[in-house]
């Protein structure tokens, strides 16, 4: 088995600097562990502060409570405890949340806690990976950059699958890097397992990194081309097996023994994965491959096209270090173009640059994206920023014409931060401070020569890096105020997006949903339904998930969610609904005109009696209508 040459495993700027100082690159310097500990503490505080009032997703959190109370719902991702219909996503991302709620009880903080842990783990893991690639300085910069990326802060305080997706993909990148460095097969297999597990959280999006991983391994790993290709095929087979494991389990389970698969017209889990959550996001025909059509709210948010990453909403979420990351990737590949094939530093720039490029292209051509989708870009931008500054620092210390790139990168990053912040002037006082610090840091680096003291250079560099972090840190910290955290269904940091503008004009928009926190109106309805329940399997049937979410968050009771998330899933049929009523498994149905009419809802209106709102304690009926199917209409 071929191995990577020793000089390639220690060829990063950080490792070369360690050799110059006479220390071993794998032994942490005295400052490393305290610095990392401080970053992790800051990350934990940002992600966990006020966790009892976290912006948990109303739909996902309803399923989390159900999954915590039923093994059937847990395994298949059932929306209600009876597991009559699944979520419109795979359940993998919600298993940790369900376990947490099962352990600590149905509370908001218990549902959000796994997200906090996953976010902090991602920072720690990225630090480890970047340190092995580009040295401790790069690792610290990368960890700080990821910690203060605004979209990661708002996302890690929610219950949305992208946090788990990001963690697992970063773990996969680390395993790939180890496979390239060591030449061993096991890390490559581990990489495939991590990607497969990431598939369980966000399906096809997890596979976006695979072309990049394959290119990096084929170009930079040791061994003959045939060996590399064979190992890659084996790892790919593992990735496919782990990725499709849940879908295969659901497909092999008789339909009578599992929930109906939401988002599909044929009750097929592969239609959920490859149709509803796959091809429909890139096609005008959103019913491809057995998918049901999606709602406008779930399918597009207007963030698409080639300028998506830098528009006024998405840009401040993730793009603060985007120019630096692109510059680092380009120069890293160009400057190392003549290095040996197995050069690890070049492989790292290819890995993280490819990650960034592929996701940017896919998001740009999709039907639309919520801003938090871009959180998966944050590790690549952070790694490139850290690796790039380490490379520029190495060239700066070596002297020559390339030394200008280090202060120039700092000025570029702060200038770009001004571009992102100027439309809102949200962090105007930090803006002035950032400009001042950047000027001092860049001037100190530009004017320093070979006779300058090491402490002066380090001080100037630290000042410049602090300047680059100020504005994103300000946006990130501001999101602890619910006014600047976006909607629970689409977390967004700062004064941007529809949620912020609605909150400014309608203060009620700031209200957050919680587990086990029903409103008086919901409590009244639940009390009425419970008091009039006489052995029926289902406490209630609802038209789509929208009316059921609030009740399922308040109380873990079997509810038949007709039509699934969108209201368009063909379950149950009118005949199935009639059978449930005649066999006394269902009595009450809650309909709403804000969701589409289906054969099942038409059957309810023609066979059941609509109750006056006063009968179940509501002073006003609002947009809901309660029907009693034990009374003939």
276-318 residue pLDDT tens: 888 777 766 666 678 887 654 455 557 888 888 999 999 999 9
Instruction: Please determine, for residue 90, whether its predicted confidence score (pLDDT) is greater than 90.
Output: yes
CA 18 from chain centre, in angstroms, equals: 35
- In the 8-state DSSP scheme, what is residue 222? S
pLDDT at residue 632, as a whole number:
65
Least confident among 229-243, 511-525, 571-585 = 511-525
pLDDT at residue 633, as a whole number:
56
Instruction: Please determine, for residue 11, whether its predicted confidence score (pLDDT) is greater than 60.
Output: no
pLDDT confidence tier of residue 25, bands split at 50, 70 and 90: low
Least confident among 131-145, 253-267, 486-500, 554-568 = 486-500
pLDDT confidence tier of residue 39, bands split at 50, 70 and 90: very high
Instruction: Please determine, for residue 104, whether its predicted confidence score (pLDDT) is greater than 90.
Output: yes
pLDDT > 90: percent of the chain: 76
Instruction: Please determine, for residue 496, whether its predicted confidence score (pLDDT) is greater than 50.
Output: yes
**CB under 8 Å to 184, separation ≥6 — which residues?**
1, 178
pLDDT at residue 604, as a whole number:
96
pLDDT at residue 222, as a whole number:
92
Give the pLDDT confidence of 334-375 residue by residue, as tens digits. 999 999 999 999 999 999 999 999 999 999 988 778 999 999
pTM summary value: 0.93
Q: What is the distance between the alpha carbons of residues 261 and 270, in angstroms, rounded to a whole number?
A: 10
Task: For 352, list phi and psi in degrees, rounded to 5.
Answer: -75, -35
- For residues 425 and 431, the answer to whether their CB atoms sit within 8 Å is yes
The sign of the dihedral angle between the CA atoms of 212, 216, 219, 224 is: negative
Read off the pLDDT of each residue in 463-484 and give the average, rounded to a whole number.
95
pLDDT at residue 18, as a whole number:
44
Instruction: Please determine, for residue 263, whether its predicted confidence score (pLDDT) is greater than 70.
Output: yes
pLDDT confidence tier of residue 5, bands split at 50, 70 and 90: very low
pLDDT > 70: percent of the chain: 91
Give the pLDDT confidence of 41-54 residue by residue, as tens digits. 999 999 999 998 88
Q: What is the distance between the alpha carbons of residues 313 and 538, in angstroms, rounded to a whole number?
A: 42
Tokens 């490029």: give the residue: 357
Instruction: Please determine, for residue 4, whether its predicted confidence score (pLDDT) is greater than 50.
Output: no
Instruction: Please determine, for residue 26, whether its predicted confidence score (pLDDT) is greater than 80.
Output: no
pLDDT confidence tier of residue 79, bands split at 50, 70 and 90: very high
Least confident among 24-38, 195-209, 405-419 = 24-38
pLDDT at residue 126, as a whole number:
98
Q: ∠ at Cα 227 (225, 228), nearest 5°? A: 65
Instruction: Please determine, for residue 196, whether its predicted confidence score (pLDDT) is greater than 50.
Output: yes
Mean pLDDT of the residues in the chain: 90
pLDDT at residue 333, as a whole number:
97
pLDDT confidence tier of residue 621, bands split at 50, 70 and 90: low
Instruction: Please determine, for residue 123, whether its predicted confidence score (pLDDT) is greater than 50.
Output: yes
pLDDT at residue 473, as a whole number:
97
pLDDT confidence tier of residue 21, bands split at 50, 70 and 90: very low
**CB under 8 Å to 448, separation ≥6 — which residues?**
456, 457, 460
């Amino acid at each position: 088995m071929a191995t990577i040459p020793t000089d390639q495993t220690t060829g990063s700027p950080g490792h070369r600097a360690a050799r110059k100082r006479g220390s071993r690159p794998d032994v942490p310097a005295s400052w490393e562990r305290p610095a990392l500990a401080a970053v992790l503490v800051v990350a934990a505080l940002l992600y966990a502060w006020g966790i009892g009032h976290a912006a948990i997703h109303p739909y996902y959190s309803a399923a989390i409570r159900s999954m915590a109370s039923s093994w059937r719902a847990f395994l298949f991702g059932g929306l209600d405890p009876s597991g009559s219909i699944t979520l419109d996503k795979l359940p993998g991302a919600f298993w940790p949340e369900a376990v947490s709620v099962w352990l600590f009880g149905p509370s908001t903080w218990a549902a959000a806690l796994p997200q906090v842990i996953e976010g902090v783990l991602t920072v720690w893991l990225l630090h480890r990976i970047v340190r092995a690639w580009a040295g401790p300085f790069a690792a610290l910069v990368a960890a700080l950059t990821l910690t203060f990326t605004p979209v990661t802060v708002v996302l890690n305080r929610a219950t949305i699958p992208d946090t788990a997706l990001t963690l697992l993909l970063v773990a996969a990148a680390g395993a790939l890097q180890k496979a390239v460095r060591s030449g061993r097969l096991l890390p490559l297999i581990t990489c495939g397992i991590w990607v497969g597990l990431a598939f369980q959280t966000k399906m096809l999006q997890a596979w976006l990194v695979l072309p990049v991983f394959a290119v990096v391994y084929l170009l930079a790993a040791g061994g003959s081309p045939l060996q590399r290709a064979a190992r890659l095929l084996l790892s790919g087979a593992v990735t496919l097996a782990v990725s499709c494991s849940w879908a295969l389990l659901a497909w092999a389970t008789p339909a009578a023994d599992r929930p109906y698969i939401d988002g599909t017209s044929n009750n097929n889990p592969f239609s959920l994965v490859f149709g509803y959550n796959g091809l429909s996001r890139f096609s005008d025909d959103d019913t491809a491959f057995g998918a049901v059509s999606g709602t406008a709210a779930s399918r597009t948010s207007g963030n698409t096209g080639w300028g998506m990453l830098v528009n006024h909403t998405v840009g401040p979420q993730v793009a603060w270090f985007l120019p630096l990351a692109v510059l680092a990737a380009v120069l890293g590949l160009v400057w190392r173009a003549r290095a040996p094939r197995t050069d690890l530093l070049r492989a790292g720039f290819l890995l993280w640059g490819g990650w960034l490029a592929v996701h940017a292209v896919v998001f740009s051509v999709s039907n639309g994206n919520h801003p938090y989708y871009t959180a998966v870009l944050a590790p690549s931008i952070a790694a490139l920023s850290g690796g790039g500054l380490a490379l520029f620092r190495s060239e700066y210390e070596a002297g020559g014409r390339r030394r200008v790139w280090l202060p120039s990168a700092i000025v570029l990053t702060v200038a770009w931060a001004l571009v992102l912040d100027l439309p809102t002037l949200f962090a105007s006082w930090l803006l002035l401070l950032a400009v001042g610090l950047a000027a001092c840091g860049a001037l100190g680096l530009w004017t320093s020569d070979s006779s300058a003291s090491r402490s002066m250079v380090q001080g100037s560099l630290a000042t410049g890096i602090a300047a680059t972090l100020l504005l994103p840190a300000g946006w990130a910290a501001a999101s602890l105020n619910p006014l600047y955290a976006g909607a629970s269904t689409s977390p967004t940091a700062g004064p941007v997006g529809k949620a912020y503008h609605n909150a400014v004009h309608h203060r009620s928009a700031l209200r957050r949903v919680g587990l086990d926190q029903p409103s008086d109106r919901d409590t009244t309805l639940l009390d009425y339904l419970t008091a009039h329940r006489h052995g029926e399997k289902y406490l209630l049937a609802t038209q789509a998930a929208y009316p059921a979410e609030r009740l399922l968050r308040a109380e873990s009771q079997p509810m038949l969610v007709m039509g699934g998330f969108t209201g368009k899933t063909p379950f149950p049929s009118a005949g199935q609904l009639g059978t449930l009523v005649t066999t006394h498994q269902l009595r009450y149905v809650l309909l709403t005109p804000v969701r589409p009419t289906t054969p099942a809802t038409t059957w309810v209106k023609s066979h059941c009696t609509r109750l006056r709102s006063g009968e179940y304690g509501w002073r006003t009926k609002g947009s809901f209508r309660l029907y009693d199917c034990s009374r003939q209409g």
